[in-house]
Structures are given as structure tokens and as C-alpha cells.
Amino acid sequence: MQAKSRASKEDVFQSLPVPTALRNMIVPAISSQLIVLIYNMADTFFVGKTNNPYMVAGTSLILPVFNITLCLAGLAGIGGGSLISRLLGQGREEEARRVSAFSLYLGLAIAALFAVGIAVFMEPVLSLLGAGENTYAYARQYALCVIVTGGIPTVLSNVLANLIRSIGRSREASAGIILGGLLNIALDPLFMFVLLPDGQEVLGAGLATCLSNCTAFLFFVVVLLRMGKGAVVTFSPKGGLPRRSSIAAVFGVGVPSAIATFLFDLDYVIIDKLMVSYDDLALAAVGIVLKVERFPLNVGIGICQGMMPLVAYNYSAGNKQRMEDTIRLARRLGLTIAAISILLYEVFAVQFSHLFIADTQTVELASQFLRIRVLATPLMFLSFFTVYLFQAFGKGQISLFLGVTRWLVFNIPMLFLLDAIFGMFGIVWSQATADILTVALSLYVYRTYRPVMGTVPAKE
């Protein structure tokens, strides 16, 4: 079975035509991203069926904090996964095995610390997020389930998905995420409307999410057991710690990835804080939009996730042509998806908004917000596509520079500036306005600092 796995890995990384290899990697990744999106939206969808905008607003407030758990997973999963693909490109499987174990225990440690921190500082965190008299109790219920209780299995599931994908097994990596997502969709109405009494719908949604993430983690444990003792991805610490240079490489890519994701979520938190200063209906409306707009973005992330191991492997193996063909095809596909999403959201904005709540005022406001926010989709894709490329190259400092500049120099200041000038709709326009500057910078940095190939990169 291990020999078959190795042959399959070599086919994907080395010999399959680029369109076929990319398809084999990105289709499962996109599928899992869409399921993640759907199950994240499912909570809002089913909570919206109560026609209680305060419940919708309460769950929306926790979304950025929940996403921080995913950024913690990115620190270990993306940092470790990127390095593992590069090590395999250099033929260094033993070191890749040590890196995988280190990444998994790193993910466990930081997830536990984050969950305990949220539990201890729940009240000031929720106050900082903008939870008020009408939304505090709902936000607290949801946070206890999905972050305090469910944080560790959520992080480990995502770390394992990244590590398993890094060795060319995108199908298994995505299957666990899909399983958890489908289970969450099924359990939401059961817990919310059958098992728990009226008024406890948010608690039911949180319990469903927690249980589904625990199930996904158990699935990945089974996958590792079936891979056998010689698998590259392993929990076993028997091989010892990886080299210092490898640990530095994990953090060198993982920390910038986590910081960029954190700043992305901070942007969402600031949007919520600015919107709540207008009214709770505006907060509910933008909460719906921030979920709906994630459809093309999650597809784009799936493209990048599938692309990154192929680019990293062929970069380290010195196969310039295969690497560049992969980059061009992935970029073209992402921009096509972004163009289609603009068309659909402009035409069907009201229908998409109405899926989440029946309140007429909220739907009208959300549809207006959505038609504006979707214009930034191709710009957002190009921005994080460039970051993923530098992560694949192991160039963490450059990806950190792009991430920090995007959010702290362009996006977040633009939020405050346009809010002060144009009010509520200035907040909505800020993404497209800031990302024009971000894309210009990203293209310049890529053309200037992309690695010059021709020889196999030095061993890390």
C-alpha cells in the first residue's frame, strides 16, 4: 500500500500532465472549501430561520474569532505542509516525516492555549467584538461550543488536511473536511429545532459544529492509521525533532500565514465594529454578506491549496517549466471563477440574501452590500494567490510583507477613511478600493522577487 502511495505521489508531482495533476489536486480541495463554506453558512441559514436578527448578529460576531482557530491551523499546517512538499522534491522523506510530527504537536499546543484563553477572557473578548445587550448571550453560547470546546479538533483537522495534501493525497485531505461539513449541515436542524427548546437555536448550532469537527478529526486519525508506520505524515515522535533549519522554515512560512489570516479576520472584526455603530440590522446584513462573498473566495483558496504542493515540489526539484505551467493554469482558473461570481451576485443578490433571513429591511441592505463587495473578488484572489506562491517557495518574509501591507497599510486604514467620508456604504466599498493598491504591489513584488531557477534550491 505504501508503494502504491509513493507511485501515486510521483505521478501527481512529476509525470502527469499539468492540467491533470492540477485537477487531481484542486478538485478535492475546492470541494472541501465549498463544504466548509456551506457548513459555516448553514449555522447562519438555520439561525436566520428564527427571523431573529440578534441571533444572526450574535453568531456573526464569533465568525472572525472562529477563523482565528483556522489561522492557528495555518501556522502549523501551511508552514509544515509547504516544507514537506519541498523536502519531498529534494528526496528527503525522513526529514519530512519529522516535520509532520512536529507540525501536529505544534498545532495541538497552540489550539489548547487559544481555547483556554478564550474561556478565561470571554467577557472582554465579546465586548471588544461589539456584543451588546441583545447579542451577548447568543455570542457567548456559540463561542463556548465552537472555540472553547471545539477548537482543538478544528485546528488538528485542518493541520492534518494540509499535511496530507502536501504529500499529494488531496482526495483524503478533503474527504475529512467534507465529512465534517456534511455532518454539521445534517445536525444543525436536529439540534436547533428538534432536540433543544425554543430560544436555544444558537446553542444547537454551536453543538452541531463542535461535534462535526470532532468527527472530522477522528476521520483523519483513521486515515493516518491506514497509511501505516512508514507514512510521511505521522503523529509518532520517535524520529525526533527536525533540524533547526526545518523548524525555522515551518515558522518562516507558518507565522506569516497565520498573521495574514489574523489580519484578514481583524478586518472582519473592524467591519463589525463600524457597522454596529449604525444599528444591529446593518450588522446582521454585513454578517450575511461576509459569508455569501466567501463562495468565490473559498473556491480560490481551494485552487491555491491544490496548486501549492505542486509548485513547492517542482520548485525544489528544479522543474521550472512544470512549475510555471501550474502557476499560469491555476491563476487563469481563479480569475474565471471570480468573473462568474460577479455576474451571479449582481443579478441574484436579493435571492442570495433572502436565503439567510426573511426580514425585508435586512435583505434589502444585504443585497446592496453584496453587489458592491463582490466587485473586489478578482482583486482578492490575485492578492492571496501571490501570497500562496511565496509560501510554496518558502519565502515567508515576502509573504509576510505582502500580508501585513495589504491589511495594515491598505485595507484597514481604508475602512476608517471611507467610513468617515461616506458612512456605512464607505465601509462596504473599502475592500475593492484597497485591493486595487494591493494587486499593484503584489504584481510588482512577484516580478521583482520571484525565485530565479535553473538549479535545484539548496537543502533547507
| pLDDT value, residue 126 | 84
Domain range summary for the chain, segments of one domain joined by + = 2-449
Per-position pLDDT tens, the chain of length 460: 344 444 355 577 877 888 999 998 888 888 878 877 776 667 767 777 777 777 877 777 787 777 777 777 878 888 888 899 889 888 888 898 999 999 999 999 988 999 999 889 988 888 887 777 778 888 888 888 888 888 899 889 989 998 998 888 888 888 888 898 889 888 988 988 888 888 788 888 889 888 998 999 999 999 988 887 778 888 888 878 888 888 998 888 888 888 887 888 788 778 888 887 887 788 888 888 887 888 888 899 889 988 988 998 899 888 888 999 999 999 999 999 999 999 999 999 888 888 777 778 888 888 999 999 999 999 999 998 999 999 889 888 898 899 889 999 999 999 999 999 998 899 999 999 999 999 999 999 999 988 776 444 445 5
| pLDDT value, residue 2 | 43
Residue 52: helix, strand or coil by DSSP? coil
Distance CA 320, CA 22 (A): 16
* Cell of residue 315, nine digits: 520548485
The answer to whether 138 touches 58, Cβ cutoff 8 Å, is yes
Nearest CA to 446 among 373, 376, 390?
Answer: 390
Residue 432: partners with Cβ closer than 8 Å, 6 or more residues away: 372, 373, 375, 376, 379
Alpha helices in 49-166 (DSSP H): 53-89, 93-120, 122-129, 136-143, 151-166
Cell numbers 484563553 correspond to what residue?
117
| pLDDT value, residue 193 | 86
The answer to whether 183 touches 215, Cβ cutoff 8 Å, is yes
Distance CA 157, CA 145 (A): 16
φ and ψ at residue 133, rounded to 5 degrees: -60, -35
Cell numbers 474569532 correspond to what residue?
65
* Cell of residue 299, nine digits: 473556491
* Cell of residue 86, nine digits: 519541498
| pLDDT value, residue 442 | 93
Distance CA 454, CA 147 (A): 46
| pLDDT value, residue 263 | 84
| pLDDT value, residue 9 | 54
Q: Tell me which DSSP letter residue 145 carries.
A: I
How far is the CA of 141 from the CAs of 34, 136, 265, 283, 355, in angstroms? 26, 9, 20, 19, 23
| pLDDT value, residue 171 | 86
Residue 369: burial class (beta carbons within 10 Å; 0-12, 13-18, 19+): buried
* CA angle at 194 for the pair 190 and 195, rounded to the nearest 5°: 85
The answer to whether 142 touches 59, Cβ cutoff 8 Å, is yes
Note the Cα 416 to chain centre separation in Å: 25
Distance CA 247, CA 218 (A): 27
| pLDDT value, residue 93 | 86
Distance CA 260, CA 384 (A): 9
Distance CA 244, CA 342 (A): 46
Cell numbers 461570481 correspond to what residue?
341
Distance CA 76, CA 250 (A): 7
| pLDDT value, residue 145 | 87
What does the DSSP assignment read for 365-392?
Answer: HHHHHHHHHGGGHHHHHHHHHHHHHHHH
Distance CA 391, CA 176 (A): 24
The answer to whether 376 touches 435, Cβ cutoff 8 Å, is yes
